[in-house]
């Protein structure tokens, strides 16, 4: 019962702290929401785009043009050999007839389908893992050229280098964005605690005189820090969800122009609940450290 009474008292003192400077509290919540909004929005968009990205051939592809005399049995054997190579995710066999039909459909020339002799070769398209390094792609090109029944090969490796560079830049930008947001949140809690301590200096002084322990004094400020960041996370979650829902029709229409399907979805409620709970823990921890340090300096 005593533990419950102590926590109820701390909650009441926290409410008094917030009522003394309501403008500062709401400003801190809004600043925290601003810091949360961009990471939440980026995470939501990335999660919505992930299914679309999985449909794209992100790894490099090497096309092997086979000899016209290669038999189906030889091609199947070569396909199995290539599939077993390290770093190969898929080997697709495009037959001569399928290639001719695709060419006729693409060019709109139906006369191609009436050719007596098909001039196109069978092709094996070797898809490599997206994390394959450019040097490994070059090595694979040299090895695949020496395979039997392979007349020539073709591979566009420039786009893979560019994609790898873009992904590295995106990862660096994401890390920087996360670091900036985390720094802002810590500074917001520190500033909020400092204001609350200045407004409650007399309260803290009296508690010290009567011999209250540090945990009893610090607890209301811990609760205030937790409420500040949790409130910011909730506001950011609401703003992000509303923005994504409003932008979803326009994003879907834009994706349809390129023959793709895109559905912007807010983060699941369990994710948002985890972010809010984590924010409360971090806010409380930062507030506890800041309050204890301030008390030690003024002792």
Q: What is the pLDDT of residue 56?
A: 59
Which is more confidently placed, 133 or 266? 266
Of the two residues 294 and 57, the one the predictor is more confident about is 294
Closest CA to 200 of 89, 298, 100, 63: 298
The vertex-109 CA angle with 106 and 114, nearest 5°, equals: 120
**DSSP β-ladder status, 88-94 and 150-155:** unpaired
Nearest one of 183, 186, 230, 240 to 48, comparing CA atoms: 240
Q: Is the pLDDT of residue 112 over 60?
A: no
For range 214-237, the mean pLDDT: 88
Q: Determine the Cα–Cα distance for residues 294 and 206; give it in Å rounded to an integer.
A: 16
CA 18 vs CA 11, 14, 188, 266, 288: distances in Å: 11, 6, 15, 31, 16
pTM here is 0.67
Q: What's the pLDDT tens digit per position in 246-259?
A: 888 888 888 777 66
Alpha-carbon gap, residue 30 to 20, rounded angstroms:
18
- Listed ranges 130-134, 153-157, 243-247; the one with the highest mean pLDDT: 243-247
pLDDT of 80 > 60? The answer is yes
Average pLDDT, the chain: 82
């Amino acid at each position: 019962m005593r533990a419950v009474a102590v926590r109820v008292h701390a909650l009441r003192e926290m409410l008094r702290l917030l009522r003394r400077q309501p403008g500062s509290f709401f400003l801190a919540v809004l600043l925290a929401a601003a810091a949360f909004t961009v990471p939440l929005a980026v995470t939501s968009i990335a999660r919505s785009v992930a299914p679309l990205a999985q449909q794209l051939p992100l790894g490099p592809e090497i096309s092997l043009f086979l000899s016209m005399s290669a038999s189906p049995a030889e091609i199947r054997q070569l396909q199995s050999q290539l599939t077993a190579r390290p770093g190969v995710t898929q080997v697709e066999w495009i037959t001569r007839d399928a290639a001719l039909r695709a060419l006729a459909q693409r060019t709109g020339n139906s006369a191609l389908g009436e050719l007596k002799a098909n001039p196109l070769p069978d092709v094996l398209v070797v898809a490599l893992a997206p994390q394959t390094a450019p040097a490994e792609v070059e090595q694979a090109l040299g090895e695949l050229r020496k395979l039997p029944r392979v007349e020539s090969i073709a591979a566009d490796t420039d786009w893979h280098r560019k994609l790898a560079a873009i992904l590295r830049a995106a990862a660096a930008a994401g890390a920087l964005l996360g670091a900036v947001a985390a720094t802002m949140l810590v500074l917001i809690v520190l500033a909020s605690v400092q204001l609350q301590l200045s407004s409650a200096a007399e309260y803290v002084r009296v508690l010290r005189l009567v011999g209250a322990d540090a945990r009893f004094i610090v607890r209301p400020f811990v609760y205030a820090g937790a409420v500040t960041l949790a409130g910011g996370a909730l506001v950011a979650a609401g703003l992000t969800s509303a923005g994504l829902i409003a932008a979803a029709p326009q994003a879907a229409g834009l994706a349809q122009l390129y023959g793709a399907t895109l559905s912007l979805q807010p983060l699941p409620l369990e994710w948002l609940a985890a972010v809010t709970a984590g924010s409360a823990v971090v806010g409380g921890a930062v507030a506890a450290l800041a309050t204890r340090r301030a008390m030690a300096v003024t002792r």
